[in-house]
Amino acid sequence: MKTKKITVETLVPLPVEKVWQLWTGTEHIKKWNFATPEWHTPSAENDLKESGKFNYRMEAKDGSQGFDFSGEYQEVEPHRLIRYRMDDGREVSIHFKPVENATFIEETFDPEQENSIQQQRDGWQAILENFRKYAESND
- pLDDT, average across residues 18-43: 96
**Residues, the chain:** 139
Q: What is the mean pLDDT of the chain?
A: 96
Q: What is the CATH code of the structural domain delimited by 6-34+75-137? A: 3.30.530.20
Give the pLDDT of residue 42: 97
Q: Tell whether the model's pLDDT for residue 31 goes beyond 90.
A: yes
Amino acid 137: pLDDT: 95
pLDDT in tens, 49-83: 999 999 999 999 999 999 999 999 999 999 999 99
Question: Has residue 1 got a pLDDT over 70?
Answer: no
Amino acid identity at 83: R
Pairing of strands 53-60, 102-109: unpaired
Better-predicted residue by pLDDT, 139 or 68: 68
Mean pLDDT in residue range 1-29 = 93
Residue 107's Cβ-count burial label (10 Å; 0-12, 13-18, 19+) is buried
What is the average pLDDT across 110-122? 95
Q: How confident is the model at residue 29 (pLDDT cuts 50, 70, 90)?
A: very high
pLDDT of residue 138: 86
The domains of the chain are located at 6-34+75-137
Statement: residue 2 has pLDDT above 70: no
Contacts 24+ apart (CB under 8 A), 22-25: 22/131, 22/134, 22/135, 22/138, 23/94, 23/96, 23/105, 23/131, 24/48, 24/82
Mean pLDDT of the region 6-28: 97
